Structure 1
Amino acid sequence: MGMSVTISAATEQDAEQILKLQYLCYQREAELYGDYSIEPLTQTLDDLRAELGGSVALVARLGAEVVGSVRGTVDEDGVAAIGKLIVHPRMQRHGLGGRLLAAIEDRLAEEGAATRYRLFTGHRSEGNLRLYRRCGYAQTGTEEVSRRLSLVVLEKPVGEPALVSGL
């Protein structure tokens, strides 16, 4: 390709590209669980813009194209919630998910009050679980959403390395 992927803060102008990428990326999850009504597939552009305005949001760009994104917030208890980590299917398995995760961790830690990172994924999402474990996350719980879906909650303390060997 000749271009490198850069990671930067998302802007209002990125919202439409993020929403389209989110829709593409969550198709596999919807198929895996037999549920196409999941929030990432039903979120509107206005809802996404509001979410971007109330969170730390990063994008990965290949030239002008958004090929990845992640969002996070820090609550009053110091828990940095990380969500909607997405990477374009053609860019997966090249370390970009790990780079985005490390970047959002750094950005949320800069906010100052974070003591733990927390994220979740579906119990059948083996690729996601492998990535999060390689990045130092440990399972802290499971939440049953429906007969078909349980969410695996993973956490790690702020200050642990963002990436561990094996990526």
Structure 2
Amino acid sequence: MNSIKFYIALYTLLLASFTSSSQSEFSGSLILNQQFVGEDIGINYEGQINYQIHPDISIGLSAAQANMSPEDSDRNYDLGKFGIHISYAFGNYENFKFESIVGFSYLHFSEDIVLKENQGAGLDLGIQLVFGAMKKLHYGFKIVTSYSNISPGSIVNTGVFVTYNI
């Protein structure tokens, strides 16, 4: 539980520092996901900092922490993830847009789960639907699948996010 508090504090500090800058190409996102690893279910908290390199393309750095609860066991475990992602808006409409997500991540499973390896790389693929509430504030729905050979099953994150353009 302390690691979740640490990551939330870290995300808040990072977002506060970026909101004080005057760059309009940066944005910060807070993401709350339902995470699935095989048959295990958990809550995933994620923070992301994005840089828009083109009106349709942005690159982002993210950090996430999930607490997983296996259905067939009372023993919970944590999953940490650091990633770099590229988003491409392939469908721009007046009130919303569709974006594809491609990236790489570094995964770290806690020692509470017995795996051959508890850390390794992953490939992330996903899609998100972005709505623009105001010029600087956006929100939406996101689904990302991470492929990794160290995972005990497929890793799927699905949830909502809020993004503030600086």
Question: Normalising by structure 2, what TM-score?
Answer: 0.31
Structure whose CA Rg is larger: 2
Question: Normalising by structure 1, what TM-score?
Answer: 0.31
Which has more strand, going by share of residues?
Answer: 2
Which has more helix, going by share of residues?
Answer: 1
